[in-house]
Every structure is written in structure tokens, then in C-alpha cells.
Amino acid sequence: MPDFLPFPGTRYRHAADSSSVVAPPYDVIDEEERAQLEAADPHNAVRLILPQAVPPADPYQQAASTLQRWYEQGVLACDPAPAFYTYRMCFTDEAGTDRRAIGVIGALALPHREHEDVFPHEQTLPKARRDRLQLLRATRTNLDPIWCLSLADDLTSAVDGPNAAVATAVDEHGTLHELVPVFEPSRIDAIRAHVADAPLVLADGHHRFETAGTYRGEHPDDPAASKIMTFVVQLDEAMLDVRAIHRLIHRAPTDLRARLAPTLEVESLGPNTEAGVDRLQIAMRNHAALGLVDRDGLALLRLTPAALETVRHTQPPELLGVDAARFDTAIRPMLQGELSYRDDARTVAATVAKGGVDAAVLLRPVTVEQIRAAAFARVRMPAKTTFFWPKPRTGMVFRRFDDENPTSG
């Protein structure tokens, strides 16, 4: 069963409001947002997770130097003892309902065999693995937690306690983030026992998880390298808001609709407007379909019976209703250009309207039950299938290997 351990976290030492120094996860930050985060505070964590350096300087070494300098200046300091960190996010979902997601951050021991205690649920992209490995080698620090879903019951009650938050942040979406250290031995033991009670599903951070395994292989005698900072949340509808990740198509053919026609029923739904995008997503849910945004506006994409039969023959049963798998089977082979990924349908549609990309395919979000079924079947969904929202902020707590192993190098 999973071995989940406390660790001495490194945190910003300033006013409890950390809004100006924390950042979103590295893979959702574009160039404009990176510049805004850097301007918000000279110590913003974006300088660590997306470092920049003037050639021939190495950006990863730049991140390591910046981290060490902040540590020496007292901007960052290590907590006096190992702890778990309760993490709360108070947010409003797409339906306008106020909700809370409550989990705990700790150090998860890396399994020695695939699918042992931790079930990956998405495939990965090689470029992202290389980038994160270089950053880990340079900094010897888990700068942001991966996200795992626990199949154990009652984890939420074990991690949510009365202690006051030591750091808070409000992000650009209005979500309140709160970090609460747990030092009490009895609560630490209870959290460890709950997490050890059932396997974990790797929800977010597949690239960093695989990178951590590679780094452990490079440093077999370093105990700190055998663990990874992890945010664990109970696999519960009440705790999760799962959103879709849409496919933006670069260099799409001008006759895209005609090319799709033999495989999909293409039904035009009018011009590309915000209201139209909202109506398209409703139609997608009602008809179990995908959506298209292109130069001609919006369209509903329904797989033909022949295309559905192809999906049945090429995809595991647990993925037949997953739009990312349908896209990979029925649409991706027709495209020559590269893909990029975004989670917000209106933003995706606006990008197409402005000419930022030629077209986009909108997907429906997967359900918690689909995630559960794929996990138990040991089936990986396509890369960039699930977008768990809101995202923990990078910078609320770091895990420095040398704070756990003071004599290691």
C-alpha cells in the first residue's frame, strides 16, 4: 500500500497572504502570464518553475541559484520538523455552486514497479519529461506537488483539522487557497494510516512522477530521491471538479470539415460567439458528441456508426465514452499539424477567432466514475484528458531534498 510520509517543508517567510509570490502550475502558464507573475513580486515562484536565462547561461541552473539565494536571504526557510500540510481550496464551480476541496500534501514513496500502489491514468509526452528532469537535477527540489486521488474512505475527515492556516492565497479565479501544517504525531499517524489503506490514482503530474522515477534511478543511495511531494485528495465527487482539455489544431487543412465528413456527422451550429460556444457545449452533452471551432464557426461532431465501431476495436472498454480516446481514433489521424491544449472552451474559441490557431476540437470532461473504472482496469487515458480544477498554487510549500538529507550532495 502507499507509503506517505511527512517532510520538513520550505515556505515563504513573510505576511500570511502569499498571493503575490505563488503561481499556477507550470504547464498552464503562457508567456504573457509568466511576465505578469514576475512583475507581481521579485520572489514569485514562476522564476523557479519556468526559469529564464540569457544565453549561454542555463535556465535550470538559474532556477537552482535563485532558490539557494532566496534561502540564504531568509525569503524561504525550512519548517523545524517534518509535517503533513493540509491544503484547502474554496472555489465556485461552473454551475455557480460554492465548494471546498480538502486534501493533504506529503512525501509519497515512489513505487518500484509500475501500477504498484499508484495507478497512472494518462499517457505522457517526452518533451515535458525532459524539461522537468533537467529542472529536478539542477534544484534537487520538488517545487510543486503532483496530485493523487485516494481510493480510501474518510480521508477528508482525517486531514481536515482545527489548526489555523500559516499561508493563504487568492488566485485570479477568486479561489482561496489555505495551507495548514500538521505536526502532531497522532494526526500524522492517522493520515499515514488512511493513505496506506488503499491504492492511489495519479490524477495530475504524470510527467513529474515519471521524472522522479528517473532521478531516483540516477541517485539510488539518496533517500530523499525515493519520494515525491504529493497532494492527496479522496476520490469523491464532492472533492473534485473535473474539466475537459480541448485540442487546438495548428496548420489545420482548409477543407477540414470535408475531410471529417466520412467519419463524423458535421452539423453546423452557427457563428463563433461566446453564447454559441455555450450552446455547443450543451449540445455536446445532449448528443454525446464533440465540438468543432474553425474558420466557418461552430459545429457539432457526432461519430458515425462505422467510426464508433473502430473505437470499440481499438480502445479498451473503459475508454469508449472518453472523448480524448475518440479524438485520437477518429480525428487525429487526419491531421498533419501539431496540437496544443487548453481547458477553457471560450478561450479556445476566442483563440481560433483571433487566428491564433486554425481550428479546435472541444471535448466533454470525463467523469469521476470513468477515472475510477480506468484506474482499476490499469488503463491509461490519452495524454491531456483530465483537467482537475482548481489547481494547488505553486509556492505554498516546497520540498528540498537537502533539508531531508543534510549530508547529501
Q: pLDDT tens digit string along 137-190?
A: 999 999 999 999 998 888 898 998 888 899 999 999 999 999 999 999 999 999
Report the amino acid identity of residue 339. L
Cell representation of residue 196? 496506506
Q: Which amino acid is at 198?
A: A
pLDDT tens for residues 245-270? 999 999 999 899 999 999 999 999 99
φ, ψ (nearest 5 deg) of residue 329: -85, -45
**Which one-letter amino acid corresponds to residue 391?**
K
Q: 67: how many CB neighbours lie within 10 A of its CB?
A: 24
Domain ranges of the chain: 4-242+389-404, 246-362
**Residue 121 has what pLDDT?**
63
Between CA 292 and CA 274 the distance in angstroms is 14
pTM here?
Answer: 0.86
Q: Which CATH architecture has domain 4-242+389-404?
A: Alpha-Beta Complex (3.90)
Residue 62 has pLDDT above 80, yes or no: yes
- Return the closest-CA partner of residue 289 out of 364, 343, 345, 344: 364
pLDDT at 409: 41
Nearest-angstrom CA–CA distance, 219 and 226: 9
Stretch 308-326: mean pLDDT: 95
Alpha-carbon span 230 to 148, nearest angstrom: 7
Contact 99, 241 (CB under 8 A): yes
The pLDDT value recorded for residue 28 is 84
In this predicted structure, the answer to whether residue 332 has a pLDDT above a threshold of 50 is yes
pLDDT digits (tens, 9 = 90+) for 74-101: 999 999 999 999 999 999 988 889 999 9
Q: Produce one character per residue of 18-27: b if its CB has 16 or more CB atoms within 10 Å, e if not.
A: bbbbbbbbbb
pLDDT of 1: 85
C-alpha span between 396 and 170 (Å, rounded): 12
pLDDT for the residue 407: 47
Residue 116 pLDDT more than 60? yes
How far is residue 94's CA from residue 158's CA, in Å, rounded to a whole number? 28
* Higher per-residue pLDDT: 45 or 207: 45
pLDDT of residue 283: 98
Q: State yes or no: pLDDT of 34 exceeds 80.
A: yes
What does the mean pLDDT of the chain come to? 92
Give residue 406's pLDDT band: very low, low, confident or very high (50, 70, 90): low
Query: pLDDT tens across 346-399, in order?
Result: 999 999 999 999 999 999 999 988 988 888 888 888 888 988 889 999 999 999
